[in-house]
Chain A
Amino acid sequence: MPFACLFVPDFSVQAVVRLEPELRNKAVAVFAGVTPLTKVFGANSAAKTAGVEIGMTKTQAEVCPGIVWRQRSLSQESTAHSALLDCAWTISPRVEGSGQEELPDTVVVDIAGCEKLLGSPEKIAGDLQRVAAEVGFDANVAVAANAESAICAARGFPGITIIPAGDEAARIGTPPLSSLKIPMELLDTLARWGIHTCAEFAALPEIAVVERVGQEGRRWQLVARGADARPLLPKDLPLQFAECLDLEFPVELLEPLMFVMNRLLDELCTRLRMHALATNEIQLTLTLQGNGSRRKESLVHVRTLRLPVPARESKFLLKLLQLDLQNHPPNAPVVGVRISAVPAGPRTRQLGLFLPLSPEPERLEVTLARIRNTVGDDHVGSPLLLDTHRPDAFRQTHFVLPESTTRTATMQRRTTAALRMYRPPLPAGVELREKKPAAVICEGARRRILALSGPWRTKGEWWSETAWARDEWDVLMEALRPAYRPVASEPPEEETALYRIYRDLRLRRWFIEGIYD
């Protein structure tokens, strides 16, 4: 009994309802098509009870009272199908999704060998139904010896159905032929013959069926008999998780948009947790309302957040997205939201017993995002020195907490002279004697150089427009700015200090770069 099938009835409606849980107990119907050819594409059982039928025109359907109407969204159905696959992957790695576009509501799982790990087929079917409910689906589950019987049973019977091996023909005989998703032409032919159920079709002589409707008819007859033993076509695990929602009305304010994003992130994080994964990159794509121009392509606003540590907490991700959108708001009302997450292994960290506690990376990230909102993106981060001889060359990187490590006893601390840089460097005039600096004129005062060492010559990027070349000197001279004295009564004495001065060979100007401690 190696196959389980997960089937979501009224899939187009449930794809909408899973992202709008407040509609769960209401009569909901979905329209498809463009005006004036809009027709009812799907309806849940409450809506059908209220009189809605598939294929009704919009005008006919709107007569029915108390129905919530939604436009069909292919992108929402696609992400709902991905969520359905995720449910199946929690049970087994061999999962077959819809190979055909018309079956996004069905997935088949190979559960051979799962009994020892997960329990009896009944328990596996119950687990599948529970996991589907977690992502918002009210699904039927069937377990059978072959994939097609499982699909047929899941489509034909509500709830959980377990078909013992060898009993397929008897069990799937009662549902109507339409539950097999037989092509319409063949279904019409069979209806003209007076064949309406699987059992009636299965009872027809095989050779006679082949003579009249060909090999295709024979294949469907094998399915109706529960004897079609086709191999499973398993899908690969996804490289990206995505959730999307098309909005009924354009949203201009951030708060309602956050409400929508919260739902999507909740679903996304639930799916990541199913795979025991987290994410280190989130991409938000907002589809914007057109500005009335004739351009057909839709406007989008894309924001990508790269996280320093993998995370799967929806509140944390929502806060980061909120702060990012406050800093980079879209320039038009939003009509569609899509959030995709690149999966990564969850963060594993062993805390040391005697190590000091460091801030939680998530809280630190939110704090950094808040600071970025205030001071700007380019003004937050930590410097990273570049592999170059250019003085003071660095680039800014994202601030990440360093790993806590115990300082080893062998680590040597060597004393080095610290250079306190003037930013920007102080322009100066320099008097030369025998091509060496003899005095520095800065801030209106002339200071004689008492001792010097140099020149230290560097140049680089001579092949580009950002070429630089300089001669540095370390000079001992009177201090530019006298040191602070707490006791004014002490007699002033001549202070000297060690400075680094340099001549920019391209600008042909002198600067004081800094003072040594």
Chain B
Amino acid sequence: MPPKNDNNITLTAAGAEGDTAPIKVNVHQHLSQVLREALKELYGSPTPDPAEYDIVFGGATLDLDKTAEDAGLVDGSEIAVLPKDVSRG
């Protein structure tokens, strides 16, 4: 049995319509990479452009240059993946 890597955590990513997907990440990964993986899990292929999305956690938009650990994400954390902007009528 391989040794357990305590740096690996599982997050729940939620899209704007409420769809969710579990994503496994390393706490040292940058959130830009977490965002790419979340978009891939939520929307499949073709994967939306990460430049058009934010990660929101605890009501705040996260700095994508931070690592998951620095952003305070822990195993079981729920993140939202939202378009940066919405079209206004």
Do A and B belong to a common assembly? no
Q: Chain B residues in contact with chain A, CB under 8 A?
A: none
